[in-house]
Amino acid sequence: MAGTHAALLERHRRVMPAWLSLYYDEPIELVSGSGVRVTDGEGNEYLDFFGGILTTMTGYDVPEVVDAIRTQAGRMLHSSTLYLIRPMVELAERIAELSTIPDAKVFFVGSGTEANEVALLLCSTARRSNQVLALRNSYHGRSFAAMSVTGNRSWSASSLSPLRVSYLHNGDRYRSPFGDIGDEELTAVCAADLRNVLETTTSGDVACLIAEPIQGVGGFVVPPDGFFGALKDVLDEHGILFVSDEVQTGWGRTGEHFWGFQAHGIVPDLVTFAKGLGNGMAIGGVVGRADLLDSVHASSISTFGGNPLASSAALANLDYLLGHDLQTNAAKVGEQLMSGLRQLLDRTGLVGDVRGKGLMIGVELVEPGSTVPAPAAATAVLEQARRRGLLVGKGGLYGNVLRIAPPLCLSPTDASTGLEALVGAIEHVEGTSMPAGGPR
């Protein structure tokens, strides 16, 4: 089996675009999985602490989800939204109720990008404005509108945009440009900045603010609880809508709440979702105020959105998630991982910050004795962790944040096995002197 990956990599490079980046010096193919474990094409087994970028939510090969897909696949893969789709309607009813938004309606699409595209269309239509607010260091997807509300240069391939976007401070406590000022003051300063941005960079009639409650690709940046409540108070003075991008934070991953926005004492006008809902089946969507969902006055469809197969998978997946109370598990096992990782703050100079909620934990690596980002060290830790049988992710504006986001079914035993591998990898990398600015 040796050489299997190398041969596939060569074929991959020939037909896939150069910007589709792969992890590891010697990229791997994951060919099967069960629970939180995956096996690669050369027979190596790993604990997976990244879940296909927070998408394998309830675990690999969950019989209830796989059976629902098999059953639906045997009946009908696709009919189109020209016809009634029972699983889509049932799924919309479930999500509308879970959203906590009164009398909500739902529209399904095939990805997180499309979900945000829909939300931006709804807000700009309802408010008759193409002015939008977004956060610095955000990631919302790869279409022109989604890219234009993405505040991260390395993910912004084009500046062409249908929107006029103003960027707000994101409440980053580790890298706050306002210094070490504490949560309350940071929130107040950022709310004051919002007022100033509205007065100086817009004509006032702004459509919406779109924000991730915890920035995902941005390196699991967690603003203070209540941060978005303070921003929303200002938005409400102007009738500006609030869109919560829950593509990474939704479905109980943060442990303490089902949605990320619930840490902020607000109910958004629209919530966008994707990733974990289908456990790997392509489904995303928008849930929100019925008047906003109804505000589009031209026909519109998403051919694949809410199709019978994806909706059946999502229903079974949600049932499994709620039936096994995986949100509570995320809180419990997340705390175990967090307290283990926090010990590294005293033990190593390489770890500058450990943050997150539930099973969404960021470990920011820096040059020891400073806050200078250490992206080469992050790459080296990923490599070392893989050698120890653990897959983790990476992100952050500077590519120096390890992202820990396993499936929500992670057991305490697997958590300590993974923790041991990760700590070993970090300590190994700290022990080998990394040349500053080495390979990323």
Ligand X SMILES: Cc1ncc(COP(=O)(O)O)c(C=O)c1O
Which is closer to ligand X, CB of 219 or CB of 340?
219
Place of tokens 């920035």: 215
103 dihedral zone (left: phi>0; alpha: psi -120 to 50; beta): left
Is 40 an interacting residue with respect to ligand X (CB under 6 A)?
A: no
Of these, 107, 139, 220, 228, which contacts ligand X (CB under 6 A)?
139
57 near ligand X (CB under 6 A): no
Residue with tokens 């040796």: 2
3-state secondary structure of 284: strand
Look-up: residue for tokens 């999502």? 314
Among 217, 309, 350, 425, interactor with ligand X by CB under 6 A? 217
- Is residue 216 close enough to count as binding ligand X by CB under 6 A? yes
CB 161 within 8 A of CB 120: no
Contact 386, 25 (CB under 8 A): no
Quote the least distance from Cβ 406 to ligand X, whole Å. Answer: 16
**Among positions 72, 116, 152, 302, the unique one binding ligand X when judged by CB under 6 A:** 116
| Contact between 289 and ligand X per CB under 6 A | no
Rounded to the nearest whole angstrom, what is the least distance from the CB of residue 247 to ligand X in the complex? 4
Binding mask 62-91 for ligand X (x = CB under 6 A): ------------------------------
Q: State the nearest-atom distance from the C-beta of 110 to ligand X, in Å.
A: 8
Q: How far is the CB of 393 from ligand X (least distance, A)?
A: 10
Q: Which of 127, 140, 357, 386 binds ligand X (CB under 6 A)?
A: 140
- Of residues 258 and 376, the one with the C-beta less far from ligand X: 258
Report the site for ligand X in 239-268 (rule: CB under 6 A).
245, 247-248
The distance of closest approach from Cβ of residue 55 to ligand X in the complex, given in angstroms and rounded to an integer, is: 8
- Rounded to an integer, what distance in angstroms lies between the CA atom of residue 211 and that of residue 218? 12
Among 197-205, 209-217, 330-338, 429-437, which window interacts with ligand X (CB under 6 A)? 209-217
Q: Residue 13 is inside which H or E element, if any? A: helix 4-15
Residue 54 beta carbon to ligand X: minimum distance, rounded to whole angstroms? 7
Nearest approach in angstroms of CB 305 to ligand X is 13
| Candidates 137-145, 192-200, 321-329, 333-341; binding stretch for ligand X (CB under 6 A) | 137-145
State the DSSP code for 223: P
Is the Cβ–Cβ distance between 384 and 46 less than 8 Å? no
- Whole-angstrom CA distances from 288 to 67, 71, 143, 389 are 30, 31, 22, 41
Nearest to ligand X by Cβ — which residue? Answer: 112
**Sign of the C-alpha dihedral computed for residues 129, 95, 244 and 262 taken in this order:** positive
Compute the least distance from the CB of residue 244 to ligand X, in Å: 10
142 half-sphere exposure, CB direction, 13 A CA radius? 7
Site for ligand X in 291-320 (CB under 6 A): none
Minimum separation from the CB atom of position 199 to ligand X (A): 28
Q: How far is Cα 409 from Cα 318, in angstroms, rounded to an integer? A: 13
User: Which is nearest to 357 in space by CA: 250, 277, 266?
Assistant: 250
Residue 291, SS3? helix
- Cα 36–chain centre separation: 18
Q: Does 141 bind ligand X (CB under 6 A)?
A: yes
Choose which of 40, 117, 172, 212 interacts with ligand X (CB under 6 A): 212
CB closer to ligand X, 117 vs 430: 117
Query: If we measure between CA atoms, which residue out of 423, 421, 429, 431 comes closest to residue 376?
Result: 429
CA 91 to centroid of chain Cα atoms: 21
Q: Report d(CA 245, CA 415) in Å as an integer.
A: 28
Residues that bind ligand X (CB under 6 A): 53, 111-113, 116, 139-141, 212, 216-217, 245, 247-248, 274, 284
